[in-house]
Amino acid sequence: MSSLNVDSSLLPEEQFLCSICLNVFTDPVTTPCGHTFCKACISGHWDNSEICQCLKCQKRFYVRPEVSTNSVIEGISMHIKRRKLDIPECLVAPWEVACDVCSTIKLKALKSCLVCLTSYCEIHLEPHQRVVNLKRHKLIDPVENLEDRMCKKHERGLELFCRTDQTCVCVLSPPFAAITAVSRLGYVSIGFAHRETDIFSHSSLQNSSSSVRLDGEHL
Protein backbone atom coordinates (compact mmCIF):
# COMPACT_ATOMS: atom_id res chain seq x y z
CA MET A 1 0.00 0.00 0.00
CA SER A 2 1.19 3.48 -0.77
CA SER A 3 0.49 5.14 2.59
CA LEU A 4 -0.05 2.22 4.96
CA ASN A 5 2.46 -0.43 5.95
CA VAL A 6 -0.24 -3.09 5.83
CA ASP A 7 -1.23 -5.53 3.11
CA SER A 8 -5.01 -5.10 2.82
CA SER A 9 -5.30 -8.52 1.19
CA LEU A 10 -4.33 -10.07 4.55
CA LEU A 11 -7.06 -8.23 6.47
CA PRO A 12 -10.53 -9.83 6.82
CA GLU A 13 -13.06 -7.78 4.87
CA GLU A 14 -15.74 -8.18 7.56
CA GLN A 15 -13.71 -5.91 9.85
CA PHE A 16 -14.27 -3.06 7.41
CA LEU A 17 -18.03 -3.32 6.91
CA CYS A 18 -20.37 -0.52 7.97
CA SER A 19 -22.94 -1.89 10.42
CA ILE A 20 -25.66 0.25 8.79
CA CYS A 21 -25.31 -0.54 5.08
CA LEU A 22 -23.25 -3.74 5.57
CA ASN A 23 -20.89 -2.68 2.78
CA VAL A 24 -17.19 -1.85 2.91
CA PHE A 25 -16.79 1.63 4.40
CA THR A 26 -17.19 4.67 2.16
CA ASP A 27 -15.85 7.91 3.66
CA PRO A 28 -15.56 6.30 7.11
CA VAL A 29 -16.01 8.55 10.13
CA THR A 30 -15.59 7.72 13.80
CA THR A 31 -17.93 8.82 16.59
CA PRO A 32 -16.70 10.10 19.98
CA CYS A 33 -17.34 6.63 21.42
CA GLY A 34 -14.87 5.14 18.95
CA HIS A 35 -17.13 3.35 16.46
CA THR A 36 -16.89 3.80 12.71
CA PHE A 37 -19.61 4.15 10.06
CA CYS A 38 -19.92 5.43 6.50
CA LYS A 39 -20.34 9.20 6.71
CA ALA A 40 -23.52 9.15 4.60
CA CYS A 41 -24.98 6.28 6.64
CA ILE A 42 -24.56 7.77 10.11
CA SER A 43 -25.48 11.28 8.93
CA GLY A 44 -28.62 9.97 7.23
CA HIS A 45 -29.58 7.97 10.31
CA TRP A 46 -29.20 10.94 12.64
CA ASP A 47 -31.01 13.25 10.22
CA ASN A 48 -34.06 10.99 10.41
CA SER A 49 -33.92 10.16 14.11
CA GLU A 50 -35.19 12.10 17.10
CA ILE A 51 -32.11 11.17 19.11
CA CYS A 52 -28.46 10.76 18.21
CA GLN A 53 -26.94 7.57 19.45
CA CYS A 54 -24.27 5.14 18.37
CA LEU A 55 -25.79 2.13 16.64
CA LYS A 56 -22.96 -0.08 17.88
CA CYS A 57 -22.85 0.63 21.63
CA GLN A 58 -26.14 2.57 21.93
CA LYS A 59 -24.38 5.50 23.61
CA ARG A 60 -26.73 8.47 23.49
CA PHE A 61 -25.53 11.96 22.55
CA TYR A 62 -27.69 14.81 23.82
CA VAL A 63 -26.02 17.17 21.35
CA ARG A 64 -25.24 15.90 17.86
CA PRO A 65 -21.54 15.09 18.03
CA GLU A 66 -18.79 15.94 15.61
CA VAL A 67 -17.45 12.90 13.79
CA SER A 68 -13.87 12.60 12.62
CA THR A 69 -12.55 11.13 9.38
CA ASN A 70 -10.73 7.85 9.95
CA SER A 71 -7.95 8.04 7.38
CA VAL A 72 -6.46 4.64 8.28
CA ILE A 73 -9.73 2.76 7.80
CA GLU A 74 -10.46 4.86 4.71
CA GLY A 75 -7.17 3.83 3.13
CA ILE A 76 -7.70 0.14 3.84
CA SER A 77 -11.32 0.26 2.69
CA MET A 78 -10.28 1.91 -0.58
CA HIS A 79 -7.76 -0.84 -1.25
CA ILE A 80 -10.35 -3.53 -0.50
CA LYS A 81 -12.81 -1.93 -2.93
CA ARG A 82 -10.21 -1.48 -5.63
CA ARG A 83 -9.19 -5.11 -5.28
CA LYS A 84 -12.81 -6.26 -5.58
CA LEU A 85 -13.52 -3.97 -8.56
CA ASP A 86 -10.12 -4.67 -10.12
CA ILE A 87 -9.43 -0.93 -10.35
CA PRO A 88 -5.77 -0.12 -11.04
CA GLU A 89 -4.14 1.93 -8.30
CA CYS A 90 -2.72 4.75 -10.37
CA LEU A 91 -2.87 8.51 -10.38
CA VAL A 92 -5.47 10.21 -12.52
CA ALA A 93 -4.17 11.26 -15.94
CA PRO A 94 -3.44 15.01 -16.37
CA TRP A 95 -6.27 15.43 -18.89
CA GLU A 96 -8.86 13.66 -16.71
CA VAL A 97 -11.01 15.04 -13.90
CA ALA A 98 -9.87 13.71 -10.52
CA CYS A 99 -12.13 12.53 -7.72
CA ASP A 100 -12.42 15.29 -5.11
CA VAL A 101 -12.83 12.80 -2.27
CA CYS A 102 -9.85 10.47 -2.85
CA SER A 103 -7.22 11.42 -0.30
CA THR A 104 -4.41 8.91 -0.80
CA ILE A 105 -4.43 7.85 -4.45
CA LYS A 106 -6.46 10.06 -6.80
CA LEU A 107 -8.75 8.13 -9.15
CA LYS A 108 -10.55 9.38 -12.24
CA ALA A 109 -13.95 10.92 -11.55
CA LEU A 110 -16.93 9.05 -12.98
CA LYS A 111 -19.57 11.72 -12.28
CA SER A 112 -19.87 15.23 -10.89
CA CYS A 113 -22.76 16.20 -8.60
CA LEU A 114 -24.43 19.57 -9.18
CA VAL A 115 -25.81 19.56 -5.63
CA CYS A 116 -22.64 18.61 -3.75
CA LEU A 117 -20.46 20.49 -6.27
CA THR A 118 -18.08 17.53 -6.04
CA SER A 119 -16.67 15.02 -8.52
CA TYR A 120 -16.66 11.35 -7.53
CA CYS A 121 -14.77 8.24 -8.65
CA GLU A 122 -16.63 4.92 -8.98
CA ILE A 123 -15.99 4.06 -5.34
CA HIS A 124 -17.01 7.38 -3.82
CA LEU A 125 -20.03 7.67 -6.13
CA GLU A 126 -21.58 4.59 -4.51
CA PRO A 127 -23.54 6.47 -1.77
CA HIS A 128 -25.26 8.52 -4.51
CA GLN A 129 -26.52 5.25 -5.98
CA ARG A 130 -27.71 3.85 -2.65
CA VAL A 131 -28.73 6.56 -0.14
CA VAL A 132 -32.26 7.84 -0.81
CA ASN A 133 -31.52 11.56 -0.30
CA LEU A 134 -28.36 11.40 -2.41
CA LYS A 135 -30.10 9.54 -5.24
CA ARG A 136 -32.15 12.71 -5.86
CA HIS A 137 -29.00 14.70 -6.66
CA LYS A 138 -28.29 15.68 -10.26
CA LEU A 139 -25.25 13.85 -11.66
CA ILE A 140 -23.42 14.87 -14.81
CA ASP A 141 -20.33 13.79 -16.72
CA PRO A 142 -17.24 14.84 -14.73
CA VAL A 143 -16.17 18.47 -15.05
CA GLU A 144 -13.74 20.69 -13.17
CA ASN A 145 -14.45 23.90 -11.25
CA LEU A 146 -18.13 23.20 -10.63
CA GLU A 147 -18.50 26.29 -8.44
CA ASP A 148 -17.71 28.50 -11.43
CA ARG A 149 -20.37 26.80 -13.54
CA MET A 150 -23.43 27.48 -11.43
CA CYS A 151 -26.14 29.96 -12.38
CA LYS A 152 -26.08 32.42 -9.48
CA LYS A 153 -29.63 33.59 -10.19
CA HIS A 154 -31.33 30.20 -10.48
CA GLU A 155 -28.87 28.14 -8.39
CA ARG A 156 -28.56 25.38 -10.95
CA GLY A 157 -25.95 24.25 -13.43
CA LEU A 158 -25.39 25.57 -16.92
CA GLU A 159 -27.08 22.89 -18.97
CA LEU A 160 -27.22 24.38 -22.47
CA PHE A 161 -24.89 25.92 -25.03
CA CYS A 162 -26.26 28.37 -27.63
CA ARG A 163 -24.40 27.87 -30.89
CA THR A 164 -25.64 31.21 -32.24
CA ASP A 165 -24.58 33.40 -29.31
CA GLN A 166 -21.75 31.10 -28.18
CA THR A 167 -22.94 31.38 -24.58
CA CYS A 168 -23.86 28.97 -21.79
CA VAL A 169 -27.24 29.20 -20.05
CA CYS A 170 -29.41 27.23 -17.66
CA VAL A 171 -32.88 26.12 -18.76
CA LEU A 172 -34.53 28.82 -16.61
CA SER A 173 -32.60 31.67 -18.20
CA PRO A 174 -34.84 34.04 -20.25
CA PRO A 175 -32.95 33.53 -23.56
CA PHE A 176 -33.93 29.87 -23.52
CA ALA A 177 -37.19 29.87 -21.55
CA ALA A 178 -38.82 32.47 -23.82
CA ILE A 179 -38.04 30.99 -27.23
CA THR A 180 -40.11 28.62 -29.32
CA ALA A 181 -39.51 24.90 -29.72
CA VAL A 182 -38.19 25.47 -33.26
CA SER A 183 -35.70 28.07 -32.09
CA ARG A 184 -34.47 25.71 -29.40
CA LEU A 185 -32.84 23.63 -32.11
CA GLY A 186 -29.94 26.07 -31.86
CA TYR A 187 -29.25 24.89 -28.32
CA VAL A 188 -27.41 21.70 -27.38
CA SER A 189 -26.53 20.20 -24.04
CA ILE A 190 -23.17 21.37 -22.78
CA GLY A 191 -21.89 17.81 -22.64
CA PHE A 192 -22.56 17.41 -26.37
CA ALA A 193 -21.08 20.79 -27.25
CA HIS A 194 -18.03 20.11 -25.11
CA ARG A 195 -17.21 17.13 -27.31
CA GLU A 196 -17.32 19.38 -30.39
CA THR A 197 -15.14 22.16 -28.98
CA ASP A 198 -13.66 23.24 -25.70
CA ILE A 199 -16.43 25.71 -24.92
CA PHE A 200 -15.35 26.20 -21.34
CA SER A 201 -12.24 27.99 -22.53
CA HIS A 202 -14.50 30.44 -24.36
CA SER A 203 -14.67 33.91 -22.84
CA SER A 204 -18.46 33.61 -22.61
CA LEU A 205 -18.09 31.28 -19.66
CA GLN A 206 -16.28 33.90 -17.61
CA ASN A 207 -19.05 36.38 -18.45
CA SER A 208 -21.75 33.87 -17.51
CA SER A 209 -22.92 33.29 -13.96
CA SER A 210 -23.73 29.64 -14.54
CA SER A 211 -22.58 25.90 -14.68
CA VAL A 212 -23.09 22.55 -16.56
CA ARG A 213 -25.51 19.97 -17.85
CA LEU A 214 -27.18 16.60 -17.74
CA ASP A 215 -26.13 14.30 -20.57
CA GLY A 216 -24.60 14.27 -24.03
CA GLU A 217 -27.80 14.26 -26.07
CA HIS A 218 -29.45 16.81 -28.33
CA LEU A 219 -32.62 18.36 -26.87
pLDDT digits (tens, 9 = 90+) for 110-157: 898 888 888 998 888 988 988 888 888 888 888 887 777 777 777 667
How far CA 198 is from CA of 82, 143, 195, 215, in Å, comes to 32, 12, 7, 16
Return the higher-pLDDT residue of 38 and 132: 38
Reported as a pLDDT band with limits 50, 70 and 90, residue 176 is low
- CA-wise closest residue to 98 among 68, 122, 72, 129: 122
**pLDDT exceeds 60 at position 106:** yes
Return the higher-pLDDT residue of 181 and 31: 31
Return the higher-pLDDT residue of 5 and 186: 186
**pLDDT exceeds 60 at position 33:** yes
Reported as a pLDDT band with limits 50, 70 and 90, residue 37 is very high
**pLDDT exceeds 50 at position 217:** no
Write down the pLDDT at residue 181.
46
Return the higher-pLDDT residue of 168 and 48: 48
Write down the pLDDT at residue 38.
92
Q: In whole numbers, what is the pLDDT of the chain averaged over residues?
A: 74
> What is the C-alpha separation between 193 and 103, in angstroms, rounded?
32
Residue 110 · residue 122 · CB < 8 Å: yes
Write down the pLDDT at residue 3.
42
Write down the pLDDT at residue 174.
66
Contacts of 99 (CB under 8 A, 6+ apart): 92, 106, 107, 108, 109, 119, 120, 121, 124
Reported as a pLDDT band with limits 50, 70 and 90, residue 177 is low
pLDDT digits (tens, 9 = 90+) for 73-90: 888 888 887 776 665 555
Of all residues in the chain, the percent with pLDDT exceeding 90 is: 15
